[in-house]
Amino acid sequence: MQSILITGVSSGIGRYLANQLSPYYKVYGTVRKEVDRSRLLEEEPDMEVIIMDISEPTSVEWAFKQLASKLKGNQLYALINNGGIAVPGPLAYLPMSEFELQINVNVIGQLRVIQGALPFLLNSLEGSRIINISSVSGMIGAPFLGAYVASKFALEGMTDSLRRECALLGIKVILMEPGPIKTLIWQKNLGVASKFEKTPFYKYIQKADELIKATEENALPLSAIKKPVIHALQSPRPKNRYIVHKNPLLIRLAAYFLPSKYLDYLVLRNLKSGKKKIRPV
């Protein structure tokens, strides 16, 4: 059975993929905390769970030493780079420490994992692959999500370069670009508006909790990610990008064909109207 590594399996997309892919692959998953590792080992006894904090170089280095001992000389077929965080807030007032954390986890951390995984992906007889979990926020920049958007735009550009480099090595590199998916990533930011109460943006972001809840109510189920990920893993000619969204054509049109001034107009109109149409992804 081929082996795959999935980062960030404690909850959300990572946990779902680890569960759904286990019939097809030997899954190695990573979590940041021992408490999550213990819980997963009870709930998923067939899963190999490794502690890895992708924001810490020494943690990543140690995790791959653990992986090497578990693989016992065998190779990885695929890396699914899923671990990440979302830091919302207006860029003009976002503390630099929070912006740096966002970039460290969602960009630098992704590359740390890729570099650590590469020796295990080289020389795979099956034609190994790297799947980076991005977002439609890597295609369209929403207000008050600038740090998250910056991290996903960076991940998209980095993935394009990596794909062209790794093609020389026989490794396929693929992007997943999900829209709103029913996970807890944004619930972790409930109450964020209070941090910016003394800024001129407060009146626009004070309904952030309502927007987050509305987004989760209308989000796609986790099952929406399964088919494209399996295709990316199993197809001999996977797509470079998979948009996972209720209206993928609309997203593509808005990102690449709609004039940016018109898109600005639509976004600002919705913000000023107070409607729940600007979603945190």
Asked if the structure places residue 254 within a domain, the reply is yes
Residue 279 has pLDDT above 70, yes or no: no
Instruction: Provide mean pLDDT across the span 49-71.
Output: 96
Mean pLDDT of the chain, nearest integer: 89
Residue 154 contacts residue 103 (beta carbons within 8 Å): yes
Catalytic residue among 3, 124, 128, 134: 134
Asked if the structure places residue 154 within a domain, the reply is yes
The pLDDT value recorded for residue 184 is 66
Instruction: Provide mean pLDDT across the span 257-273.
Output: 86
pLDDT band at 168 (very low <50, low <70, confident <90, very high): very high
Number of domains into which the chain is organized:
1
Asked if the structure places residue 7 within a domain, the reply is yes
Asked if the structure places residue 268 within a domain, the reply is yes
Residue 281 has pLDDT above 70, yes or no: no
CA-only gyration radius of the chain, Å: 19
Looking up residue 99, the CATH number of its domain turns out to be: 3.40.50.720
Higher pLDDT, 90 or 215: 90
**272 is a catalytic site residue:** no
Instruction: Look up the domain containing 232 and give its range.
Output: 3-273
Catalytic residue among 16, 25, 152, 204: 152
**77 is a catalytic site residue:** no
pLDDT in tens, 143-161: 888 999 999 999 999 999 9
Catalytic residue among 28, 148, 204, 242: 148
Asked if the structure places residue 179 within a domain, the reply is yes
Asked if the structure places residue 161 within a domain, the reply is yes
Catalytic residue among 3, 10, 137, 151: 10
The pLDDT value recorded for residue 186 is 62
Give dist(CA 216, CA 261) in Å, integer. 28
Least reliable range by pLDDT among 63-67, 173-177, 191-195, 224-228: 191-195
Give dist(CA 157, CA 178) in Å, integer. 16
Asked if the structure places residue 149 within a domain, the reply is yes
pLDDT in tens, 74-122: 999 999 999 999 998 999 999 999 999 999 999 999 999 999 999 999 9
The pLDDT value recorded for residue 48 is 92
Asked if the structure places residue 279 within a domain, the reply is no
The pLDDT value recorded for residue 280 is 42
Look at residues 91, 93, 83, 89 and name the one whose alpha carbon lies nearest to residue 185: 83
**152 is a catalytic site residue:** yes
**202 is a catalytic site residue:** no
